[in-house]
Amino acid sequence: MGCVKTWDVIIVGGGIIGLSLAISLRKRGAKVLVVERGEPGREASHAAGGMLVDCLLETPAALQPLATASAGMYPEFAYELEVESGMKVDLRDQGTILFPSAEHLRHKALATLGAACVSELEPAFPASDVRRQAFYLQERSVDPRALSAAALKTAKHRGVDFSTGDPVTTVNLSNGRASGVTTRKTAFRGAKVVNCAGAWSGQIGPHTFPTRPVKGQMLCLAMPSRTLLKHVIRTPEVYLIPRSDGRLLVGATVEEAGFDKRTVPSTIQRLHRAALALVPKLADARILEDWAGLRPGTPDALPILGETPTPGYFVATGHFRDGILLAPITVQVMADVVMGVKSEFDLSPFCCGRFSS
Ligand SMILES: Cc1cc2nc3c(=O)[nH]c(=O)nc-3n(C[C@H](O)[C@H](O)[C@H](O)COP(=O)(O)OP(=O)(O)OC[C@H]3O[C@@H](n4cnc5c(N)ncnc54)[C@H](O)[C@@H]3O)c2cc1C
């Protein structure tokens, strides 16, 4: 009888969180299997805009330490993936111009932001907008599709194993500990399991994490000239994210629509009109694509990170609007937790037990 293959860690879900955690655990010497329902990197991590938002006005206070740490880790995180995969991830550091909302204007943190001279930063803005109050944020952006593709290639290079096209239905237990996963078609044995299944995390037994899908629709334009806009622009109505190849992402809705990923033409048109109102020079820009994705939301809009009540079963999900930003720090703290090392961060605001009354 042949021996049954076992892994040190089985990761459920091959989005940016699962892929980058797999790489990190592999670097620490673990044998790792990623079990992905479809194709890796094709869900929320494919749909995201890629703003690396680290702003007191917009980040939940409890998340601020992780957000700031992760934003600081990005250049090295992106560089390593680029070197190991031979692919570019388009990390840009031109910064963000923020047109504040009425709610922002009541926020004390506003005083800490630098005023932006919009006409100097973005000559494409019409004179009327140049007079609006705006702030400059030293934030980066990245191309999440390229990032996920680079993470997938790196994981394969490093010897992470993959099972694709077959969903995990439950985490198996033996003597009260995680011992692997059952999928629709088969089962895999592993001493530890990490649930990184994004908006679907709550569907995998035995624990029911309160994750839910939060739909976001976006579109992508081809800028009439590659450098028409250089900065990420955020207004209360819309955000614009330029890519170095001349694409411009326009986003995004935040909708409670279940697991429905269809785009709605009138919604895409509304986003398109908001982009044109902001930058009239986009009038001739071609629409290249539109799409929708499902953010992994939680009841308190904070991620769920750490060990579950079942020994050997861990969870890293619920990254909601910031999963691309939070990938580097999530991977660092989760690799520590999975390997039994105490994290330097206080993870209690993110523990999965916080939802049980
Ligand atoms: C429109 C939009 C814009 C966004 N913009 C930004 C942004 O600008 N900046 C930012 O930081 N974040 C942004 N986000 C959020 C970000 O995309 C997510 O937080 C992040 O991608 C979550 O990564 P993940 O790996 O947890 O989830 P996902 O990428 O969704 O990956 C989860 C994976 O698990 C798989 N899976 C699910 N169930 C199972 C199962 N039973 N068995 C096996 N596999 C399973 C799925 O197929 C999927 O591949 C945006 C999201 C959307 C939708």
Strands 187-195 and 177-183, how do they pair?
antiparallel
For ligand 1, whether the C-beta of 140 sits within 6 Å is no
Calculated CA dihedral for residues 300, 145, 16, 251, nearest 10 degrees: 0
Q: Which of 33, 36, 63, 326 to mutate to test the pocket of ligand 1 (most atoms within 8 A of CB)?
A: 36
Q: What is the pLDDT along the chain (357 residues), one digit of tens a residue?
A: 446 799 999 999 999 999 999 999 999 999 999 999 999 999 999 999 999 999 989 999 999 999 999 999 999 999 999 999 999 999 999 999 999 998 888 887 777 777 788 888 998 888 666 667 899 999 999 999 999 999 999 999 999 999 999 999 999 999 999 999 999 999 999 999 999 999 999 999 899 999 999 999 999 999 999 999 999 999 999 999 999 999 999 999 999 999 999 999 999 999 999 999 999 999 989 999 999 999 999 999 999 999 999 999 999 999 999 999 999 999 999 999 999 999 999 999 999 999 975
Q: How many CB atoms lie within 10 A of CB 176?
A: 10
Quote the ligand 1 centre to 38 CA distance (angstroms): 13
Q: Which residue has the tokens 């679907």?
A: 200
Report the pLDDT value the prediction gives residue 90, as an integer from 0 to 100.
Answer: 98
- 32 strand-pairing partners: 9
- pTM, two decimals, is 0.97
- 255 strand-pairing partners: 215
* Distance from C-alpha of 181 to C-alpha of 172, rounded to nearest angstrom: 5
Please, what sign has the CA dihedral across residues 332, 335, 341, 347?
Answer: positive
User: Do 268 and 281 meet the contact criterion of CB atoms below 8 Å apart?
Assistant: no
The atom of ligand 1 lying closest to the CA of 167 is 42
Report the pLDDT value the prediction gives residue 119, as an integer from 0 to 100.
Answer: 84
The secondary element (H helix, E strand) that includes residue 118 is helix 118-121
Sheet-wide strand order for 232-234 = 114-115, 135-137, 96-98, 232-234, 239-242, 247-251, 212-222, 286-297
For ligand 1, whether the C-beta of 242 sits within 6 Å is no
Quote the ligand 1 centre to 43 CA distance (angstroms): 5
The atom of ligand 1 lying closest to the CA of 203 is 41
The atom of ligand 1 lying closest to the CA of 241 is 8
Quote the ligand 1 centre to 101 CA distance (angstroms): 27
Quote the ligand 1 centre to 316 CA distance (angstroms): 11
Report the pLDDT value the prediction gives residue 116, as an integer from 0 to 100.
Answer: 81
User: Do 256 and 320 meet the contact criterion of CB atoms below 8 Å apart?
Assistant: no
For ligand 1, whether the C-beta of 216 sits within 6 Å is yes
